Amino acid sequence: ALRKGSDLEKAFATAALVYNNHADPESKLSKAETKSLLQSQFWHFIQGQENKPKYQEIIFSLDEDSEKKINFEDFMILLISLTLMSDLLQEIKNVKTTK
């Protein structure tokens, strides 16, 4: 359906597909599953963030009540939060400004 979609549309469709492939029949992930998914599929964005207070807060929230389920909207908020604080985002910005 998105063969002719923009890069941004394809990126969000991919995020939705990854989430749906790991979600339970109710379209939810446990916090433990979410943490594992982020560590395996979002590694380049979270690498080196371990000492940042916001990262620690996010990971702590996933460790608390780890069986509690989160929905797709909450998952996307986590992705956006981790992206915004990531060093990789700054590297991407630096590449753009040097062109």
Domains of the chain and CATH, by start:
7-98 (1.10.238.10)
Residue 29 φ/ψ, nearest 5 degrees: -120, 145
What are the pLDDT digits (tens) for 41-88?
A: 999 888 888 899 989 999 999 999 989 999 999 999 999 999 888 888
What are the pLDDT digits (tens) for 8-30?
A: 999 999 999 999 999 999 999 99
For residue 45, give both structure tokens: 């964005």
| Rounded-to-integer distance, Cα 1 and Cα 4, Å | 8
Span 32-46, average pLDDT = 93
Task: Report pLDDT for 94.
Answer: 84
